[in-house]
Copies of this chain bind each other. A is one copy, B any other.
Amino acid sequence: MSYRVLYIEDEDHLANIVKETMELKGYMVLHQREGLKILETIPAFRPDICVLDVMLPYIDGFTLGNTIRKHYPSLPIIFLTAKGQTKDVLEGFSSGGTDYLRKPFSMEELMIRINNQIAIRRQTPSPRIEHKQKEFHLGSFTYSPDRLELRSASGIVKLSNREAEIMNIFCMQPNATIDRRELMQIVWGDDSYFISRNLDVYIRRLRDYFAMGQGVEIITLKGKGYHFSVS
């Protein structure tokens, strides 16, 4: 089983190196440049661990850590702090960090600490991340993520795993733009060409389902992603 790492880092160069190394070790990594939408990303991606840079635009890492801790008390968080900032480290732990690493760090060191945090957490029988909502009302449809069911006047459709994963992401952000690459990253852990055709197939299926009722539409934003339009 491959573990899922949510990694927030604004420096692209560093991020790419770290991401690739982690992927080589068999982890599924979702990298984002800032944490504004983290409360939507977490239930969609269901990470086993978060790795947060501390210096981030918009929201700093510690604030982010606090937010995560509030909603997901048992999700491990590793902070990446700038060197020589002990005060920061203390603040980091008080804001819910379970470990930290000073920059510059070796990948080896990071991997060890990630493995360790996941191992510690797995010993404790802790609840996995669940969908916060039991049901979503979308136009003339009702979607239940627990039962993977899409209900409407014309009947019940059982969604497959992949179909449901995409639905879950859409439901987190109704009437918003969902980035195509990000979507692929979350569902397939990859955004290559073949996955891309693959996503198309599933979008097609969802559109078929939604055509059986009213009020929901998946609108293509070419070059960007999809707009999940719900009324």
**Could you list which residues of chain A lie within 8 angstroms of chain B, going by C-beta atoms?**
1, 73, 86, 89-90, 93, 97-99, 108, 112, 115-116, 119-120, 123-125, 127-128, 130-131, 146-148, 160-162, 172-173, 175-177, 179, 181-182, 217, 219-224, 227, 229, 231
CB within 8 Å for A222 and B116 given contacts A124-B124, A176-B128, A181-B1: no
- How many angstroms between the C-alpha atoms of A195 and B49 in the bound complex? 29
Give the Cβ gap from A103 to chain B, nearest Cβ, in Å: 15
Nearest chain-B residue to A108 (Cβ)? B86
- How many angstroms between the C-alpha atoms of A149 and B224 in the bound complex? 18
Give the Cβ gap from A116 to chain B, nearest Cβ, in Å: 5
Q: List chain B residues, Cβ under 8 A from A217.
A: 147
Q: Which of A97, A112, A124, A220 has the most CB of B within 10 A?
A: A124
CB within 8 Å for A130 and B120 given contacts A86-B112, A222-B161: no
Give the Cβ gap from A42 to chain B, nearest Cβ, in Å: 15
CB within 8 Å for A229 and B108 given contacts A124-B124, A224-B161: no
